[in-house]
Amino acid sequence: MAIYRYALPHLGNELFACYTGMETDLIFNKNIPLPGFAAYPLLNNKQHRVLLENYYRSLILIAKQHNVGVILDSVTWVANADRATELGYSIEELAEFNKNAIKLIHSVREQENYWPTVLCGQVGPRGDGYIQDKPMSIFEARDYHRVQMAAYAETEVDFVCAFTLGNAQEAAGIVLAAKAFELPVAISFTVETDGRLPTGMSLQKAVEYVDKHTQASALYYLVNCAHPDHMLQSFNYEPWVKRVRGVVANASRCSHEELESALELDDGAPTELAEQLSQLRHSYPHFNVFGGCCGTDQRHMNAIMAATKV
């Protein structure tokens, strides 16, 4: 087993909260436009920076209330070269955004007296993870995502997690890119309503593919940006499931296509969502990372932590 110089308490058995639904909450509930779905430009605005800090503090407060750990994910899901270029940012500016995003969550952790808190550098797909508009080979993905990893390697980040991935080749490339900088990395796939990745590959095959092509270098796997109804059929009791640690779920049962075209936020039913995730944890007791993705807010997170900690 690898020995890391980073704090990774969530690799134990204790429950950890993970929230990646900030962008939809900002857009629909806070009326803050996010061109390209990018939240990291908010770091340049003092008022917006305080707003981001408050999201993190609220999540830590929920974790304290339920006596669980917390993962703080940086606002850098789309902070990669292609998407930054579309917004007019240079590679140098992009690197600073990635570094400053980690500085922000690091400062929040320090202010909160180091409650069991893990700092995560968030990575996303190069293109649209739902329609696979920029497919890459493993080594193309490795080289592409090295830029973001290089920035994270200069920070106090504890680990990196790539969210909402729909392609196993890109996932494997991200693992190799992180490995080149000795950064611990986790992979979170997304699935469609049929429980399969947007490429049509099963979740099981995706996990097994990435492990095969990276010597099982990923810390673990997750599923995010999908409703529990869509992913339940993906899990079974075969050995690969032991590599999965949890679920960061959408509030809505809508497909990705429906969500992307929606003009109003579908925030689902927080209590029902929490109960479904609780059932998942009972079925797979080794799952210990749970939380909310698109359409979720503090109500959902509070309900999820209350239900899954039992």
3 in a structural domain: no
DSSP 12: S
Other Cβ atoms within 10 Å of 238 Cβ, number = 9
- Quote the tokens at residue 263: 């003009």
Helix axis angle, 298-308 to 270-283, nearest 10°: 30
Count of domains forming the chain: 1
Is 161 among the annotated ligand-binding positions?
A: no
Residue 293: the pLDDT is 97
CATH number at residue 123: 3.20.20.330
4 in a structural domain: no
Range of the domain at 125: 9-308
Reported as a single tens digit per residue, the pLDDT across 236-295 is 999 999 999 999 999 988 777 777 777 788 898 999 999 999 999 999 999 999 999 999
The better pLDDT of the pair 210, 252 is held by: 210
Is 18 among the annotated ligand-binding positions?
A: no
Query: What 3 state SS string does 244-298 have?
Result: EEEEEECCCCCCHHHHHHCCCCCCCCHHHHHHHHHHHHHHCCCCCEEEECCCCCH
The residues pairing with 70 across neighbouring beta strands, listed in sequence order, are 17, 117
Please state which of the ranges 47-61, 84-98, 127-141, 228-242 shows the lowest mean pLDDT: 127-141
The better pLDDT of the pair 88, 254 is held by: 88
- Quote the tokens at residue 239: 């050995």
Is a pLDDT exceeding 50 seen at residue 5?
A: no
2 in a structural domain: no
Q: pTM to 2 decimals?
A: 0.95
Rounded Cα–Cα distance for residues 276 and 253 (Å): 12
Is a pLDDT exceeding 90 seen at residue 123?
A: yes
Contact 174, 187 (CB under 8 A): yes
Is 254 among the annotated ligand-binding positions?
A: no
Reported as a single tens digit per residue, the pLDDT across 95-111 is 999 999 999 999 999 99
Q: Which helix (H) or strand (E) holds 82?
A: helix 81-86
Q: What is the mean pLDDT of the chain?
A: 93
In sequence order, the 6+-apart residues with CB closer than 8 A to the CB of 252 are: 227, 259, 266, 267, 268, 294, 295
208 in a structural domain: yes
76 in a structural domain: yes
How would residue 1 be classed by pLDDT, with cut points 50, 70 and 90? very low
1 in a structural domain: no
